[in-house]
Amino acid sequence: METLKDYLEGAYRIRKIPTYIADRCTERKSTGHACQVCADICPQNIYPTGKRKRPIWDQCLKCGICSASCPSRCITVPSRKMESFLMAAARKGRLTIACENEGSGAKLSESCIAAVSWEQLAYAALREGVVISLRACGECSYETCKEVIEQNLNELRFFLGEEVYQERVTVLRAGEEYEAPAEEEAMSRRELFGFFSNLSVDTAFTMMPKIDNARDNGLLFRAMLRDAVAQKAADCEPADRPKYAVRLPHFTQNCYNCGYCVSACPNDALKFVQGENGFTVAVDVWKCTGCNLCKLRCRADGISGIVPMRVSTLGRVAVAKLPNHLCAVCGKPFPYGSDGDICKSCQAKKRNEAFKKRREERKLKRALEAEAAALAVTQEQSLEAEESELEQQAMEAEETVAEPQVVEAEKSAVKPQNAETELSSEDEE
């Protein structure tokens, strides 16, 4: 028969040591702030500070404190931690959680209560209730874990509400005792072994949530809480369904569906659903951890912050319905506050087209001017050629007229000479 450990390591790929999912880490995806929660909380300092490097898994104690403290849940729990929690939560009665140093025979003994996230506590509280023993924490010298425990209890109180918290959560401080009902009394070792080997494994299989892929392994406890809330809602009438307080991003009218927050979300919790007259902002509540990375990446003040909201389901809920703000030219969304109903890209294209048109006009004008100048030069040259030709013709005409006169003059000049010759010859005679 397949064991729960084999099922976890096969179907969910949950390893013996925590798994660090780098592409969901806010330290890697954020450019505005640094997150060093895992490095600050780890008792072995296996997570290096500064630039994110590979964790030193050889020194890991497999305590699971880092996975319970990570704000984006990018660190998965070890398979041993998941298995022990499922086995303990499958038992009847309230889930009792205590430190290993206390030795109180609790159903779930942890090396540190800080390794139990508020999602695990809420899941146990919704089932049959939870008892958290902090009696051994006063002797612990690790103050950071105490702060994490108090933060988890405050988050649990915030999620359940004061009334449900007082009803289903019991916190034992130093000197306090818990009187368990008869059905919750501790089992003998043989009874405990028989219970685990026969009933708890089969029950734990049915408790495992449905997730899309192994990338959501860090959100397994949140998915379990989602299923528990859905089961509670199914047992009630729609009007009587209990509501739970969560922290979700609050979208303003400045949001224009650019999609930067969707790409920035490390858990893929944000979805934009396009409609005919507008779009709807949907959030997968069980995936949203309130890391505030979407607000840091928003370029148009479309997200005012992470605010408390009350929901009846941890599935996908609509948090805002906003009108479309589309460009009249390209039809793409663009931010409010721009001049007119055209986006900056189209405005730039329009300016470039106008500039190109003016440049073509200037080019055509210069070409026409050059052509006109060339034509004027050609005309001037042709006029000069005609004038020179006319002058040449005039000179030739003058020469033609002058030639007979010169001939006659020569003839007339020759005649007197002949006459004198004749006269001189007559005189000689």
Full DSSP string of 211-249: -SSGGGGGGHHHHHHHHHHHHHHHTS-GGG---EEEEEE
Is residue 307 scored above 80 in pLDDT?
Answer: yes
Long-range contacts of 381-384 (CB under 8 A, 24+ apart): none
Q: What does the pLDDT read at residue 409?
A: 65
Q: Which stretches of 277-343 are DSSP H helices?
A: 293-297
Q: Which two tokens stand for residue 174?
A: 């130093």
Distance in angstroms between the alpha carbons of the first and the last residue of the chain: 176
pLDDT bin (cut points 50, 70, 90) of residue 330 is confident
Distance, in Å, from the CA atom of 108 to the CA atom of 204, rounded to the nearest integer, reads 15
Is the Cβ–Cβ distance between 12 and 213 less than 8 Å? no
User: How distant is the alpha carbon of residue 111 from its chain centre?
Assistant: 36
Taking residues 270-284, report their average pLDDT.
90
Alpha carbon distances (Å) from 105 to 88, 122, 129, 373, 389: 12, 22, 17, 107, 129
Q: Which of 52-66, 205-219, 271-285 has the highest mean pLDDT?
A: 271-285
Q: In which band, very low, low, confident or very high, does the pLDDT at 160 lie, cut at 50, 70 and 90?
A: very high
Give me the pLDDT at residue 106, please. Answer: 84
Which is higher by pLDDT, 426 or 39? 39
Strand, coil or helix: 306: strand
Tell which wins on pLDDT, 217 or 418. Answer: 217
What amino acid is encoded at 301 in this protein?
Answer: D
Tell me the mean pLDDT in the region 364-384.
Answer: 89
pLDDT for the residue 227: 93
Task: Give the C-alpha separation, 229 to 241, whole Å.
Answer: 10
Q: Quick one: pLDDT at residue 157?
A: 95
More confident residue, 311 or 411: 311
- Mean pLDDT is lowest, of 81-95, 127-141, 247-261, 414-428, for 414-428
Contact between residue 220 and residue 12 where contact means Cβ atoms under 8 Å apart: yes
Query: How far, in Å, CA of 144 to CA of 151, rounded?
Result: 11
Q: Can you give the pLDDT at residue 97?
A: 92
The rounded mean pLDDT for the chain is: 82
In this predicted structure, what is the pLDDT of residue 194?
Answer: 52
Average confidence (pLDDT) over 186-207:
59
Torsion of Cα atoms, 230 then 236 then 240 then 246, to 10°: -10
Q: Which residue would you say has higher pLDDT here, 105 or 195?
A: 105
Q: What is the pLDDT of residues 103-125, one digit of tens each?
A: 767 888 888 899 999 999 999 99
Q: Which of 21-25, 89-93, 314-318 has the highest mean pLDDT?
A: 314-318
Which residue, among 148, 149, 319, 146, has the nearest Cα to 246 in the 3D structure?
Answer: 319
Choice among 72-86, 187-201, 246-260 with the minimum mean pLDDT: 187-201
Q: Is 256 exposed, middle or buried (0-12, 13-18, 19+ CB in 10 A)?
A: buried
Hey, which residues does 110 pair with through a beta bridge? 99
Q: Which pLDDT does position 179 carry in this prediction?
A: 66
Q: Could you tell me the pLDDT band of residue 421, with boundaries at 50, 70 and 90?
A: low
**Structure tokens given for 416:** 């007197």
Q: Are strands 244-251 and 169-172 parallel, antiparallel or unpaired?
A: unpaired
Give the pLDDT confidence score for residue 399 in this predicted structure: 77
Contact status, residue 37 vs residue 181, Cβ threshold 8 Å? no
Cα–Cα nearest to 74, from 30, 22, 115, 119: 22
Task: Specify the pairing of strand 169-172 against strand 130-133.
Answer: parallel
Residues of the chain with pLDDT > 90, as a percent, come to: 25
Cα(229)–Cα(226) distance, rounded to whole angstroms?
5
Q: Please check whether residue 277 is in contact with residue 326, taking contact to mean a CB–CB distance below 8 angstroms.
A: no
Question: What is the predicted pLDDT for the residue at 19?
Answer: 84
| Dihedral sign for Cα atoms in the order 157, 158, 160, 161 | positive
- Are 95 and 108 a contacting pair, CB within 8 Å? yes
Q: What's residue 155's pLDDT?
A: 94
Stretch 181-207: mean pLDDT: 58
pLDDT at residue 427, as a whole number: 53
Report which DSSP code applies to 305: E
Q: Which residue has the tokens 């030795």?
A: 103
